[in-house]
Amino acid sequence: MRIYDFPLVSGCLAPFGANVGLARYRGSYSTGQLRPSEHFVDGKFLNPIQTSVANPKDFGKIFRQMVAGQEIRTPRRPIPIVRRTREDYATPPASGLRATWIGHASTLLEIDGRRVLLDPVWSERCSPFSGIGPARFHPPPIALEDLPPLDAVIVSHDHYDHLDFQTVRSLARLDVPFVVPIGVGAHLKLWGVSSDRIIELDWHDRTTVAELQITALPARHFSGRWIRDRNATLWASWSIVGPSHRVFYSGDSGYFDGFRDIGTRYGPFDLTIIAIGAYAEEWAAVHLNPEEAVAVHRDVRGRMMLPVHWGTFHLALHSWFDPADRLVAAIQGTDIVTAIPMAGQWVEPSVPPPIERWWMP
């Protein structure tokens, strides 16, 4: 095993993120300006409703299931993907709205002539180490250096499967703004993103980037990259609104009634990008299962749903294909419109593609 080549900063290995002392909320880390948040109490950010991440009493049960479970947690054959190059994006979508699922939560969104990259993770593993941790089932469908010009990068929270050190280090070389929840800017600044390209938002804060209105919205989750920094930074779902189209991204979240408020205040949405995987009974409060994802899509008043957060890394005890199977079952007999694309496959809400079970084991 080789630890990534990174410097020691403030006594902390860089991929782990900002030092715990720095990551304790003191306002906007990127600018140094104080930004009080009503969601920050006694040194930690709080969820919109009472939330327990996991009961230590469940760890034994989880370990036994990890060892003895019969689930198919990794693919038995190569997963099909659609390869992309920069040239594929030279012509914008005729409809004005298109999404490319890169894998897990990473998605390239084209909206009204602008491009937004969500939760970019290109590394082989979502881990601070190069040799251990969950490894990809498939390569990214497009090389990071082959991406078309970007107008914004949005990060939902600081967990390794959403905020990747190596990917950020590469994107830091580009003149692109990062829009993140409060505190996540500390990680980005540590990794080479200049302060003037970091925009930190509290829930319901809004910023305008390249004619897009980007709003951080509540989610029910948690944060942290190491043992002692739990909930030192904020997490969020997102509204991305262009001149003609509206998109909702759930980030990581458990279900809560706040999604109905989001739909009332910020919906409807032409496209919802919603996490459907990495669920378990023990952490049901902080991750959606497929049936709950459908409920979120309804709550926020979505037109078409793009499921993410599955099919790329082994992060839970269910079979790797279970999220897609359960989603298909959940929408049977309903008016829900969804696409379940291969990585790299385009999705346009104006012309939803038929569901093809490419994930069958």
Q: What are phi and psi of 225, to 5 degrees?
A: -120, 0
In this predicted structure, what is the pLDDT of residue 23? 39
| 8 A C-beta contact, residue 203 and residue 218 | yes
Separation between Cα atoms, residue 166 and residue 122, nearest integer Å:
8
In this predicted structure, what is the pLDDT of residue 1? 34
Write down how long the chain is: 361
Residue type, 216: A
Nearest to 209 by CA among 148, 169, 154: 154
Task: Tell me how far CA of residue 101 lies from CA of 32, 96, 141, 285, in angstroms.
Answer: 35, 17, 9, 25
Separation between Cα atoms, residue 335 and residue 332, nearest integer Å:
8
Mean pLDDT by 10 residues, the chain (361 residues): 34 56 39 66 93 68 65 92 98 97 98 98 92 93 98 98 97 97 96 97 98 98 91 97 98 98 98 96 93 98 98 94 98 97 97 93 77
**Which helix (H) or strand (E) covers residue 248, if one does?**
strand 246-249
In this predicted structure, what is the pLDDT of residue 67? 61
Separation between Cα atoms, residue 203 and residue 210, nearest integer Å:
21
Concatenate the DSSP letters of all residues of 303-343 into one string. Answer: EEEEEES-SSS--SSS-TTHHHHHHHHHHTTS---B--PPT
The dihedral region occupied by 81, where left means phi > 0, alpha psi between -120 and 50, and beta the remainder, is: beta
In this predicted structure, what is the pLDDT of residue 176? 98
Torsion of CA 274, 276, 282, 283, to 10 degrees: -20
DSSP alpha helix (H) spans, the chain: 20-23, 59-68, 165-171, 184-190, 258-266, 290-299, 322-331
CATH annotation of 85-347 = 3.60.15.10
| 8 A C-beta contact, residue 233 and residue 198 | no
In this predicted structure, what is the pLDDT of residue 4? 35
